[in-house]
Amino acid sequence: MNEPMELHELFAALDDVRQTDPQGADAGKIQKRTLEQLALLDGTERPAHRLPRKFFLTGLAAALAVALAACACAVSAQVWGVRLFDRQEKQQLQKPLYAVSTSASQPDEEPGERLLAGFSGEILDVDWLEENDVLFFDEVGTVCGVANGECMEFPAFVFDNGEIAILTKEDGSGWVLEENGQLTLSLRQNTEDNPQASPGGDRLALGVIVDGIPCELTCGKDAKLEYTYTAHEAGEVYFYVQNFSAGPIVIEDAAVGTS
Amino acid sequence: MEQEQLVRQLRQGDSKALQKLMALYTPYLCTVAANLAVPPLTPQDVEEIVSDAFVRLWRHRQDLDPDRSLKGYLVRITRNLVVDALRSRKAECLPLLEEILEQETPLETRLEQKEAVRRLNKHLAALSPADRELLLRFYYDNQRIAAIAGALGISPGALRVRLFRLRAQLKKNLEGEEQQ
């Protein structure tokens, strides 16, 4: 055993060597309280993961805010005149229901059971996510770009708290980079036409999915964002953005290009 | 084998396995918590701590090591929760808190736990009944020095010295043998 053991722990591992006395504590009450606590946990528990906790917290928040977000987006579409990041425009914005649910998150389900639909099986390494008990995308969609010379330009889109937009080429594929190859993303938050936006911009995370494995690169409140990703090794790369603010964010002028 | 099965069931989210563990270990964990922190903690505090220990076990069930004793793991959680409870009460419990933390005695060994337990049993069997009783009270029951000294009719100072010697002997047996 590599890990140090406490002697108390080692002694506890002995078979019951003597009578124990609960000393006034009520075993029935303990069991009842424990089961009550577990019942409360059932609705909120998520498995351990490697990615930053904020992914999951915001994901959970997003799940609760879905109804509100749908309403907000519906209104936003008319007010802002932008494409919606929701289920209605499936040509542009596919909306898979993706989750990795293990026994840890869903005690009533079979271990390893997962829900997977749409493109995400191709973009995300589901086995890796599952092996690592990562519940990555609670609310996720893709935004397809339109080629313009060397760049891929993206239509304006709105997404809400916790939601993640994966930026893809027109055919839904990513960018294949060689080792040390570079991919640059630029975008702008439209804060003028978004009544819920902070004047300087809202918190937005940017990450990459490299051969199916997501990794956050940066997170900040800058209204304008430009990031150049350098590949450590050859692979297929997608940029994604995740809304870490309390309200919707309108993304405009997003473009991805190789350097 | 039964433990490995329980761990597997726990990992699969089988709450019946947890209930089985509660039935098995609740009295012992109550003893540990109460011995560590009575009088500052009431029986209700102890119930809460032990319940929280099981909840924590459930939440971390994916990280359980099937080769490591569940009972030992639960004791470690319980001790940590007692320490947390005492910390939250600040000044009045500081001396007790220090005493508990001083009792932490990590065993630097590469032994598998089963082998360590086998050697521990062998070591205990070779001790005099009085010394065995002392070690079990301190490490198994988690009794405090003052309580043991009172029960055995010796001074706390003398008890500390005896414990120190017994611990050194025990660690030598557990850690030394592996190098043979």
Contacts A34 to B, Cβ<8 Å: 18, 22, 51, 54-55
Q: Are B29 and B16 in contact (CB under 8 A)?
A: no
Interface mutation target, options B82, B140, B170, chain A, most CBs of A under 10 Å:
B140
The per-residue pLDDT for A189 is: 93
Q: With 70 as the cut, is the pLDDT of residue A194 above it?
A: yes
Contacts B140 to A, Cβ<8 Å: 11-12, 14, 17-18
Task: Provide the mean pLDDT of chain A.
Answer: 70
The per-residue pLDDT for A59 is: 59
The per-residue pLDDT for A43 is: 52
Per-residue model confidence as pLDDT tens digits over B85-124? 887 776 566 667 777 776 666 666 667 778 888 889 999 9
Q: Are B63 and B11 in contact (CB under 8 A)?
A: no
Residues 6+ positions from B80 with CB-CB distance below 8 Å: none
Least Cα separation, residue B74 to chain A (angstroms): 8
* DSSP conformational letter for A25: -
Interface mutation target, options B20, B22, B26, chain A, most CBs of A under 10 Å:
B26
Interface mutation target, options A11, A32, A38, A41, chain B, most CBs of B under 10 Å:
A11
Least Cα separation, residue B91 to chain A (angstroms): 25
User: Bigger pLDDT: A52 or B28?
Assistant: B28
Nearest residue in B to A44, CA atom: B59
Where is mean pLDDT largest: A61-65, A148-152, A211-215, B104-108? Answer: A148-152
Residues 6+ positions from A25 with CB-CB distance below 8 Å: B30, B33, B34, B43, B46, B47, B50
User: Bigger pLDDT: B98 or B26?
Assistant: B26
Amino acid, single-letter form, for residue A44? T
The per-residue pLDDT for A132 is: 65
Rg (CA), chain A: 23
Per-residue model confidence as pLDDT tens digits over A32-82? 888 888 877 765 544 333 344 555 556 556 666 664 554 454 444 444 444
Residue range A148-170: mean pLDDT, rounded: 83
Nearest residue in A to B70, CA atom: A13
Contacts B105 to A, Cβ<8 Å: 6-8
| Distance, CA of B89 to CA of B55 (rounded, Å) | 22
User: In this complex, do A7 and B167 lie within 8 Å of one another by their Cβ atoms?
Assistant: yes
The per-residue pLDDT for A193 is: 80
pTM score over 0.80: no
The per-residue pLDDT for A78 is: 45
The per-residue pLDDT for A1 is: 41
Interface mutation target, options A2, A3, A6, A9, chain B, most CBs of B under 10 Å:
A9
The per-residue pLDDT for B36 is: 85
Predicted confidence band at A222 (pLDDT cuts at 50, 70, 90)?
Answer: confident
Q: With 90 as the cut, is the pLDDT of residue A257 above it?
A: yes
The per-residue pLDDT for A175 is: 93
The per-residue pLDDT for A94 is: 40
Lowest average pLDDT, out of A73-77, B11-15, B31-35, B129-133, goes to A73-77
* C-beta atoms surrounding B12 within 10 Å: 17
The per-residue pLDDT for B12 is: 83
| Distance, CA of B163 to CA of B165 (rounded, Å) | 5
Residue range A115-121: mean pLDDT, rounded: 38
Q: Are B103 and A8 in contact (CB under 8 A)?
A: yes
Q: Where are the domains of chain A?
A: 53-258
Q: Shortest CA distance to B29 belongs to which of B6, B61, B63, B52? A: B52
A42 to chain B, any CB pair closer than 8 A? The answer is no
The per-residue pLDDT for B104 is: 64
Q: Judging by beta carbons within 10 Å of its beta carbon (0-12, 13-18, 19+), is residue A30 exposed, middle or buried?
A: buried
The per-residue pLDDT for B91 is: 55
The per-residue pLDDT for A153 is: 93
Element of type H or E holding A251: strand A249-258
Predicted confidence band at A238 (pLDDT cuts at 50, 70, 90)?
Answer: very high
Least Cα separation, residue B141 to chain A (angstroms): 8
* DSSP conformational letter for B109: -
Q: What is the DSSP track for B30-69?
A: HHHHHHHHTTTS-HHHHHHHHHHHHHHHHHTGGG--TTS-
Q: Are A22 and B31 in contact (CB under 8 A)?
A: yes
Residue range A211-232: mean pLDDT, rounded: 87
User: Bigger pLDDT: A116 or A32?
Assistant: A32
Domains of chain B: 2-102 (1.10.1740.10), 113-179 (1.10.10.10)
Predicted confidence band at A97 (pLDDT cuts at 50, 70, 90)?
Answer: very low
Q: With 80 as the cut, is the pLDDT of residue B70 above it?
A: yes
Contacts B69 to A, Cβ<8 Å: 9, 12-13
pLDDT more than 90, % of chain B = 18
CB pairs under 8 A between A and B: 174
Residue range B5-33: mean pLDDT, rounded: 87
Contacts B174 to A, Cβ<8 Å: 10
Least Cα separation, residue A134 to chain B (angstroms): 13
The per-residue pLDDT for B8 is: 85
The per-residue pLDDT for A254 is: 93
Structure tokens at B154: 């010796």
Predicted confidence band at A91 (pLDDT cuts at 50, 70, 90)?
Answer: very low
